[in-house]
Amino acid sequence: MRRVRTMSPIQRLKKFFLPGKDREFSKKLIHLTVPMALQQLMMSCVFLFDTVIVSGLGDEYLSASGQAGHFTFLMWSGLFAISGAGSIYAAQYWGKDKDITGVRKSFTTTLIFGGLVAIPFFIVGFFFRDELMIILSQDDRTRELGSDYLSIVSVAFLFWFMTAMLSSVLRSVGITRIPMIASGVSIAINVVMDSLIVYGFLGFPRLEIKGAALSTVVGAFVELVLLIVLARKTKAPITFSKKDIVRPEKPLLIKFTKASLPLMAKDQLWALGVTVYSICFTYLGVAQSAAYNAYSTLGEFMNIAFCAIGSAGGIMIGHVLGTGDIEKAKSYSWRLLRIILISGVLLCPIFILLSDVILLPFPNLTPEAIGYAHQALVIISLVIWARGINFTNMNGILRAGGDTFGAAMIDVGMLWLFGVPLALIVSLLLGLPFWALMVVISAEEVVKVGISIGRVRTYKWAKKLV
């Protein structure tokens, strides 16, 4: 009998870190990643600018906008799940001989499902905001300010869901510049309005936290309009015109439902778990809550590279799976993970050394809040590589092949069976300090890495869907 040669652990590591060159992979990844990273950077900048502007009003204002923002984050997680499911099919249809009819059916389906997410969130955020803030905060003044913020910003939900669906489908067919430009203009408008109406500069009324919400709504509306105009001007495959609304067949709706429901469960239960984390910090105090919300905003910057590479890699894998080249898709997955791991290890000491610099945009926070935010940045920097790997596995590799159930079980299971119970024990039962709660959040990411890598290695995601 012929003996099968198996690789030693050292040989496996060498193969992982030193694979052969693949110019096609590198070229496509850069082409998709750069515009997506720029868009993510611009979005992070506006979130940071909003946070900095509001923080200048005081810790209570920052805590209010941050806690109310968790409701928005919960809504966005649902939209991200729907757009992700749509991008799975749009990418594979496009990879399958540029099947534009299939892409349009995917777009129509995402609009329907996206509306089913955004409209209920708008109703709750607009009509039941006072009751919602009772859950999200323990401080009366914070609740009042958060309610004012939600009364306006919830209108943006109705624009965001259409923008999210159109942008995701455009990116799935390789068009990344149009969403980037539309997002950039929206951000510029948001920043200018924030600068004028939050504090009442140049004769404009001083609207404080309501001004920050209003600028977000105007920016969301402009982004949607500009996205449609640019798509039509460049004759993109999808332009939000009447011909793009194609009724999907029942089999596609069933497939889409099976793909989207686990994603929605995963993303929204994950977002709800993160919201529980934020509520735990409110029990520690206003300064701790403000610090956590400041850290959350800064964390968007720290995750830009990982989000862009992971999302771009998922689109590439989806295109390859659409052609039926399963082995190439497997190869792409490990190349992605190698890039993420190396980037995370290199960025860890940089983020730690620059933690004081990163906090410079928040001079108006109290020294106590700044101290807590510094602790959060140092602790999360130590596990930034784990966060990158988990994002790439859940939202790139597994999602590209439709293994949404596996991704949901890992993400939701780890959060609700490990992270959330420990966070509640640490904050509510034991009353441990801020850093202990951050360690719990970080530990969840590290444990999840081994499980998510194990799921990728099963290759249950490596299949053609269309």
pLDDT tens for each residue of 178-192: 888 888 888 888 888
- Residue 1: pLDDT band (50, 70, 90) is very low
Q: Which pLDDT does position 122 carry in this prediction?
A: 93
Predicted local distance difference test score (pLDDT) of residue 176 = 77
Least confident of 14-18, 100-104, 112-116, 159-163: 14-18
- CA-to-CA distance for 168 and 314, rounded, in angstroms? 12
First CA to last CA distance, the chain: 40
Looking at the domain assignment, is residue 151 inside a domain?
yes
In 96-174, alpha helices (H) = 100-127, 129-136, 140-153, 157-172
Domain tally, the chain: 1
- Supply 383's token pair: 């596990």
Average pLDDT over residues 300-309: 79
The residue with tokens 């050394």 is 353
Is 162 inside any structural domain?
A: yes
Residue 8 within a domain: no
**Residue 416 identity:** W
Average pLDDT, the chain: 82
Looking at residue 465, what is its pLDDT? 66
DSSP sequence for 32-85: HHHHHHHHHHHHHHHHHHHHHHHHTT-HHHHHHHHHHHHHHHHHHHHHHHHHHH
**pLDDT higher than threshold 90 for residue 370:** no
Q: Helix, strand, coil shares of the chain as percentages rounded to 5? A: 85, 0, 15
Range of the domain at 325: 22-458
Q: Is residue 4 part of a domain?
A: no
Is 453 inside any structural domain?
yes
Residue 83 lies in a domain: yes
Contact present, 306 and 344 (Cβ < 8 Å) = yes
When pLDDT is averaged across residues 281-293 and rounded to a whole number, the result is: 83
pLDDT of residue 4: 45
User: 5 in a domain, yes or no?
Assistant: no
The DSSP secondary-structure symbol of 360 reads T
In a domain, 466, yes or no: no
List, for residues 142-152, the tens digit of each pLDDT value: 888 888 888 89
